[in-house]
Structure 1
Amino acid sequence: MDPRPLEFTYKDEADIVSEAARAADREVCFFPAQSDLGLRLLDSLRGSTIESRERPDLWDHRTSLLIEAMTIDDHVRSTGKDLTRQREAEVQRELKRSVFAEMLPNAKLSVLTSSGLPTDEDHSYAAYLSHFQKVVSHHARNDAEYRSQLPGADLAYLLLDLSTGYFESLNSFGREMWGRPHMWFGDAAFIEAIIASGVDCVAWLAPYKTLELVGEGMFDLPKVVIIDVSLLREGDAVHYDANRLRSTEE
């Protein structure tokens, strides 16, 4: 048997780039509109000239882009630890020790586990927004250092979003599971954090978001959203009631 260890998806920044590059045109959305910068970022992700670095994580001389990758999720961290990520790490270690790793040495595997908590205690919109703000602001502190690596280049964030989909419920004013879909990339709270970071462009990869419309079945959501921050205006933002946002997994 091949002794190489089993590889898991999203192991590093290159895996995130590859996942974004695989998105078909119909799975890509430009927000609030298509632009030269947005097209340049998409071209970079789909190309072969991105190089790995330390700070920022990636750069592309051909498209004159600096790219910093980061991962966000919606898991509640009541103890300061992400119980779901802990359980996934445990499962990964178990699989690497199993015969499965020897049988499929070149396989890439996504491990989806449960923390064992009720849905509203496992993940929530409040945890999603909090984690997003924390991660983005943390990387924003290095803005000057990133830009100094390739003066004149544009800075982009590559966001891997592992959260579930959300919708704004009608509570007692409508039937169960009725409400307004949460378009995360247009959420005013998220947009505020993006603008405050000073980044020029964002590629927001959200592979696990789904939405089922009552009586109509599954509704396709974009897998990759490209945001040109310079085009964002107040009217583009959508204001949601955080107290009524619920996971589509409930």
Structure 2
Amino acid sequence: HLFFTFKTGFIQRKLPQAIKLSLSSDPEGKGDISHFGALATALAATIGTGSIVGVATAILAGGPGAVFWMWITGVFGIATKYAEVYAAVKYRVRDHNGAMLGGAMYIWERAFRRNAEGKRDPSPGGHTPWWAKLGAVAFAAFAAIAAIGTGSAVQASAMSGIITSNVDVPAWVVGVVIVVLVSVVIFGGVQSISKVCERLVPIMAVAYAGGCLVILAFNWALIGDALGLILECAFT
């Protein structure tokens, strides 16, 4: 985080501009989805187990001080995320249908290509070292495992637990419904995923932020003590 922060000249300063661009539209953009669609798709994977269960687990394991370090990590992590997205856009490619393909697999495969003279050459004519190909395959494999585990199983289990504890419905029925709905969205391609996220994520974000504000409102007298405890425990 610190390396990319200094390397980008504290890119965190550009956060207001980034938010403005994410909420704007560009009809002449080269991507397959809109700026807001990309933002919504990214947030869809963040608002959930990571922002709720993950934070609660960190506090349970590390105490109130963990909140302070999550704040710090979040601020400096902006630079790392910027570098990740920049590389993904720079090394993305189009498939035979004209759809955009990108991600760490393509960064591994294209960023280390060399031409006959040994100079970096991300074009199709360049040569990719075996270790870069291995890195691309390994990342894709581990990403698939993570998507099935923390990306899908954990969230599906949490959803199933909430529904079955309040409604007399077998867990397997909930699982089948989730599989069908997710399959319809995924097999529709990246544009289908983007459109669904554009509609659902704002509702999720408002509900999440609203819930947090309600909790703070009901416990406003304890906010000062909580902040003091967070700072005190952060360095002990």
Per the normalisation by structure 2, the TM-score is 0.23
The structure in which a higher percent of residues are strand is: 1
User: Based on CA coordinates, which of the two structures has the bigger radius of gyration?
Assistant: 2
Q: Which has the higher helix share?
A: 2
